[in-house]
Amino acid sequence: MTSPRQNTQQEMSAEIQAIASTYRQSLAAGAAPLTQPSLDYAPYRSSILRHPTKNLHHTDPETIELASPAFGHQDVSPLEADLTIVHNGEPQGERIKVAGRVLDGDGRPVAGQLVEIWQANAAGRYIHKRDQHPAPIDPNFTGVGRCITGADGSYAFTTIKPGAYPWKNHINAWRPAHIHFSLFGSEFTQRIITQMYFPGDQLFPLDPIYQSIVDQDARDRLVATYNHELTSPEWSLGYNWDIVLTGPKRTWTETEALGEDGEHHG
């Protein structure tokens, strides 16, 4: 059960490090690396009553699960990819461009699919009504963006670098700066929501959400790369971040069968 008092960061870090140490031992003993977060990760306190206790049930995806909802340019305006032009004035903070590609597990581009993002403002404050952080709201920044990937799987957003923010997981808990990303693939099985981080953040080792991914290589996949080529003179800093979805799960046989029926939704 939850402890009668909140833990200190020191206690929290000890918990995080104990789990990390157990994981390193399992790797050393030959276990396969874990590429996804642990659903049961007690340092993230809200997960304690919100993780399934039974193993995920292995099954072959079928029909609808091998297709994906379709989104198009009637769903999303190209203007929604620029989070800095939503209001009449310029938002406060460091203007950035975040760009990359959405790929499937075979390295093929995921074209024409929806990407949604949301984030705190430069001071670490969300517009959300339940955000109690006493940092200023920026009247010129909402922090919500959308786009449709290009034929090469590319996406690009112009926004403001979000600030770190406190939360109540433990005493003096702070989230490293991040942008929430929501992604669709060409199959429903590829649906994912995740968070993109910025390189070199000193809060990484202290954050139970980031550390819920116990594998260092896997965690690194959420960290964008600074790219000076993407930086615009006198205007904005550039970050690259590519996203790889799971799968595809569809077999050749199924692809051929769907093709014959004229119901191929790749």
Residues 13-72 that bind other proteins (CB under 8 A): 35-39, 41, 44, 46-54, 56-65, 67-72
User: CB-wise, 91 or 248, nearer to other proteins?
Assistant: 248
Residue 245: which of 49, 86, 65, 36 has the closest Cα?
A: 36
Q: Minimum Å distance from CB 169 to other proteins?
A: 10
Neighbouring C-alpha atoms within 13 Å toward the C-beta of 218: 14
Which of 140, 182, 227, 240 touches other proteins by CB under 8 A?
182
158 vs 181: CA distance, rounded Å: 14
What is the set of active-site residues? 126, 165, 175, 178, 180
Q: DSSP of 189-243, one letter per residue?
A: GG-EEEEEE-TT-TTGGG-HHHHTS--HHHHHTTB-EE-GGGPBTTTBEEEE--E
Q: Minimum Å distance from CB 161 to other proteins?
A: 17
**Footprint (CB under 8 A) of other proteins, residues 192-251:** 192-195, 209-210, 212-213, 217-219, 221-222, 243-251
**Footprint (CB under 8 A) of other proteins, residues 113-142:** 114, 116-118, 120, 126-131, 142
The two structure tokens encoding residue 180 = 């929430």
User: CB-wise, 188 or 226, nearer to other proteins?
Assistant: 188
User: CB-wise, 56 or 151, nearer to other proteins?
Assistant: 56
Q: Minimum Å distance from CB 38 to other proteins?
A: 7
User: CB-wise, 161 or 175, nearer to other proteins?
Assistant: 175
Q: How many CB atoms lie within 10 A of CB 47?
A: 17
Q: Minimum Å distance from CB 189 to other proteins?
A: 5
Residue 160: which of 210, 118, 192 has the closest Cα?
A: 118
User: CB-wise, 42 or 231, nearer to other proteins?
Assistant: 42
Q: DSSP of 144-202, one letter per residue?
A: EEEEE--TTSEEEEEEEPPPPEEESSSTTEEEPPEEEEEE--SSGGG-EEEEEE-TT-T
Which of 20, 42, 76, 237 touches other proteins by CB under 8 A?
76
Q: Minimum Å distance from CB 168 to other proteins?
A: 10
Instruction: Please give the C-alpha separations between residue 120 and each of 43, 151, 155, 159, in angstroms, as whole numbers.
Output: 23, 30, 20, 11
